[in-house]
Amino acid sequence: MLTRNSADVIVVGAGVVGAACAYYAARSGLSVTVLDRGPVAGGTTGAGEGNLLVSDKEPGPELDLALLSTRMWCELAGELPPGIEYEPKGGLVIASDEAKLAALRVFAAAQHKAGVTAEEIAGDRLRDLEPHLAPGLAGGFHYPQDAQVMPALAAAHLLRAAGDRVRLRLGEEVTGVLTEGSGKIRGVRTASGPVHAPHVVNAAGTWGAELARLAGTELPVLPRRGFVLVTEPLPRVVRHKVYAADYVADVASGSAALQTSAVVEGTPAGPVLIGASRERVGYDRTLSVEVLRRLAVQATALFPVLAGVRVMRTYPGFRPYLPDHLPAIGPDPRVPGLLHACGHEGAGIGLAPATGLIVARSLTGGDQPLDITPFRPERFQGAGGGLSGPSAA
C-alpha cells in the first residue's frame, strides 16, 4: 500500500529517466515514491533538446539500448498525450568534404549490421531533404529512426500516466540514505522526515555521485556542460535533426576541454534549437560568449539562412558523464536495495524507456530485455573519481 512515508521503491530524481523508472515500476504493480528537491524536469531533462538518436552511437551496448528505446518511444507516443511532441522526423548527418563522408560511410556500415537504418545522400541531393542547407557539401547520411520529444512534457506525462501507484514529492531534498545493520536499504531521509522503502533508485542525474556517497558507495558521475541557442519562431526552416559529422566524435570523446559541433533542428512550436557544446567545468553556469560564438558560426555554415535570424535566449545544462560513456543501470551489489539509473550523459532522454524497463525488471525479478552486464554500476569499483556537487536531487 502506498502511503506518504512508505512505498515499495523510492526513485530519487524527477527527470525523464526517473519518470520512466517510476512509470515501468508502477506498471509492474509496485508502489513508487518519486522525490526531487526541485520541480519535474528541473535538471538535465529541462535543459535538453529532446533527442532520441541512434545515428550518433557506434555498435555496442549503448546502441542496443538506444534501438530498444526507439521502439519503446514509438509505443509511448501512442499511449501518452500528444503534448510530448513526439516527432519521428529522422536525422541527417552532414559531411563537409570527401574524407569525412568516407568516415561516415564506414560508421554507417557498422551500424547497419547492428540494426540501424541509414541511407547515404549524395551532395547534390541534400537539398531534397533540407532545402536551406549550404551549397557545396560533400554528402551525408539520413537516419529515419532518429526522433525528438519535448523532454519536460515527456517526463511530466510519464509520471501522470503511472497513475495512483506513484506519489510525487517535489521540493524535498534527500539528505541521507537509511540502511539496516546489515547494510540493506530501508529508505531515505529528507527534511520532512524519513521515507521508507526496501529499494532506492538513484536517478539523480549529474548529482548521482552525491546520492551514491550518501548510500555509502561511489559512482564517478561528473557534470559535462553544454549550451543551447534558441531562435525566434520560424516557418519550418529545418526539417530534420541535422548535425555535422564532427558531432559523433565529440560525443565519444572523454576530453574535458571545450568541444563544439553544429547540431541544428526545428521544433513544432517554431524556434530552431542550436547546439552542441561539451566541456567539463564543474557546475559553473557562467555564460560563455566563446561557446555561443562558435555555435552560431557553425550553425550558419550549415544553414546560411540562419545568419539573419534572432537568437531569443540561450541556456546551459549539465550532462551526467561517466568515464566509459555508458550509463549505470541496475542493482548495486555493494549496497543491497540500491539501484542506479544515471550517467547517460546527453542520451538520457532517448535511453529513458529502456532504462526504466531494466530497473522495473530488476525490482520484480523479470527477464531483462537485453544484456545489462555492460551497465553494471560496480564496474568502477576502485577507480575513485567523482566530483562533489550539490546535495542529491
Orientation angle between helical segments 61-79 and 348-364, nearest 10 degrees:
90
Residue type, 249: A
How many residues are recorded in the chain?
393
Q: Give helix 151-161 / helix 348-364 axis angle, nearest 10°.
A: 20
pLDDT of the residue at 3: 64
DSSP 47-76: GS--EE-STT--TTHHHHHHHHHHHHHHHH
Residue 389 CA: distances (Å) to CA of 206, 207, 223, 243: 8, 6, 9, 31
> For 91-144+222-320, which CATH class?
alpha beta
Domain ranges of the chain: 1-89+145-221+322-393, 91-144+222-320
Looking at domain 1-89+145-221+322-393, which CATH architecture does it have? Answer: 3-Layer(bba) Sandwich (3.50)
pLDDT value of position 83: 81
In terms of Cα–Cα distance, which of 316, 229, 302, 289 is closest to 262? 302
Profile the chain (393 residues) by mean pLDDT over runs of 10 residues.
81 98 98 98 94 96 98 96 92 96 96 98 98 97 97 97 97 97 96 96 98 97 96 95 86 79 91 93 94 95 96 95 96 98 97 98 98 97 45 34
What pLDDT score does 43 carry?
A: 96
pLDDT of residue 255: 78
Helix (H, G, I), strand (E, B) or coil at 95: strand
Which three-class secondary structure state does DSSP give residue 5?
coil
C-alpha distance from residue 127 to each of 92, 236, 241 (Å): 11, 14, 14
